[in-house]
Structure 1
């Protein structure tokens, strides 16, 4: 499962072997409302639903009831002022169903006090920007360039 090179074992040296899978899972917040026992992961394109199940069982000791995978196609668009098409990368999404007795809720990473501090900082930045842009009478030129 891993293509990483390990140091060669020589007699007398300790044997250092570490399990480093090439697979990865990223827990994401679902776009739509889902039951509390369904988790959504973005995973590597090579993973199958059996790989997702084994990954969760062996590494995180989570025993899913059902695993469903799908591939979400990347968005295609033409950048402004260009004559070529750009396509975002495709993403494989794994939906993992836990037993009915288990639930998962995303933790609150930012406390209420920290939100207040962030709001004050952003308000201060907005005020500074309004003050700076008010001094600039000619848009497109820096304020020190004007003759007034």
Structure 2
């Protein structure tokens, strides 16, 4: 399950008993619509279905009803200047079906940022309108004078 080696015991030195697996999983937004109880992960190519199920149950305490995997093979392309063929690394996707009654929804991470940007734009627009109105009020008595000729 892991390719890391424990360091050899040396007299007087502490023994390290930490288990760090080489496996990793990354939550991915699926390209097509999925049922609400299906979650898609990109995972290490060495992981099997059983490893994925154990990983989810032991580390995240998430019960899995079913685990399906597929290996995505990316497109090949020619390098423009040299002309040789390039192929990106394969990606293994795990489709995890949660137990009945459980649902997963992606968190909306950028909702507040969009609202804040919109509020900032509204505030700047309001300040610009107020500044223009102040400029007009300042120069309303000088009909024939240019606007740049203000004191």
Normalising to structure 2: TM-score of the pair?
0.69
1:58 is aligned to 58
1:73 is aligned to 73
Distance 2:13 2:79 in 1: 56
Distance 1:57 1:5 in 2: 25
Distance 1:103 1:49 in 2: 21
Distance 1:50 1:68 in 2: 10
1:3 is aligned to 3
Distance 2:26 2:36 in 1: 18
* Aligned-CA RMSD value: 2.3
Distance 2:100 2:60 in 1: 18
Aligned length: 120
Secondary structure of the 2:41 match is strand
Change (3 A) 1:117 1:6: same
Distance 2:57 2:106 in 1: 20
2:17 is aligned to 17
* Higher Rg of the two aligned structures: 2
The gaps in structure 2 that reach 5 residues or longer are 122-151
